[in-house]
Amino acid sequence: MVQTITKGIKALVAEANDKVKTISVEEASSLYNKNTHVFIDLRDIREIQRSGKIPGAFSCPRGMLEFWIDPDSPYHKEIFNQKKSYVFYCASGWRSALSAQTAQVMGLSPVCHMDGGFTAWGKADQPIEEYEK
């Protein structure tokens, strides 16, 4: 049996972008050093090892997001239990749009995601923290 996908990734990302706040790299760069915002890097650890991350960002693999947000989960991370704004980013902005939407549906607030992701951050010559083993 051949699968028929009725809603593709482009439609899912477009829907997410309609429901969550998207910020530019310029806006994100003005926030990343403030104690009022937590930057969440959703990329796989291998991506971070290759290219680094935004200084001070918290690494949360996309596959663990819901488990780490939920305080009733045995995998909950306290970083998601703060009165702060959460800025999600990935490599290009697709995973972060979906993640911000999921976090918002779960009740995490306020959340947004960075347009263009880490790729846009690097192209804008913003600070990058190298991966430390």
- Mean pLDDT to the nearest integer, 31-51: 95
CA–CA separation, 103 and 108 (whole Å): 5
- pTM summary value: 0.94
**Residue 1 located in a structural domain:** no
Identify the CA nearest to 62 among candidates 27, 93, 83, 25: 93
**Residue 129 located in a structural domain:** no
**Residue 70 located in a structural domain:** yes
Query: What pLDDT score does 93 carry?
Result: 97
Residue 52 pLDDT > 80, yes or no?
Answer: yes
Query: What pLDDT score does 113 carry?
Result: 98
**Residue 130 located in a structural domain:** no
Query: What pLDDT score does 131 carry?
Result: 84
**42-78: string of b/e by CB count within 10 Å (b at 16+)?**
bbbeebbeebbbbeebeebebeebeebbbeeeeeebe
Query: What pLDDT score does 112 carry?
Result: 98
Identify the CA nearest to 118 among candidates 13, 25, 17: 25
pLDDT tens, residue by residue, 57-110 = 999 999 999 999 999 999 999 999 999 999 999 999 999 999 999 999 999 999
Residue 133 pLDDT > 80, yes or no?
Answer: no
CA–CA separation, 130 and 133 (whole Å): 10
Residue 132 pLDDT > 90, yes or no?
Answer: no
**Residue 84 located in a structural domain:** yes
Q: Say if CB 35 and CB 79 are below 8 A apart.
A: no
Q: ∠ at Cα 70 (113, 103), nearest 5°?
A: 20
**Residue 66 located in a structural domain:** yes
Q: For residue 97, what is the domain's CATH number?
A: 3.40.250.10
Number of domains in the chain: 1
Note down the domain range covering 18.
Answer: 9-123
Residue 1 pLDDT > 80, yes or no?
Answer: no
pLDDT tens, residue by residue, 21-36 = 999 999 999 998 889 9
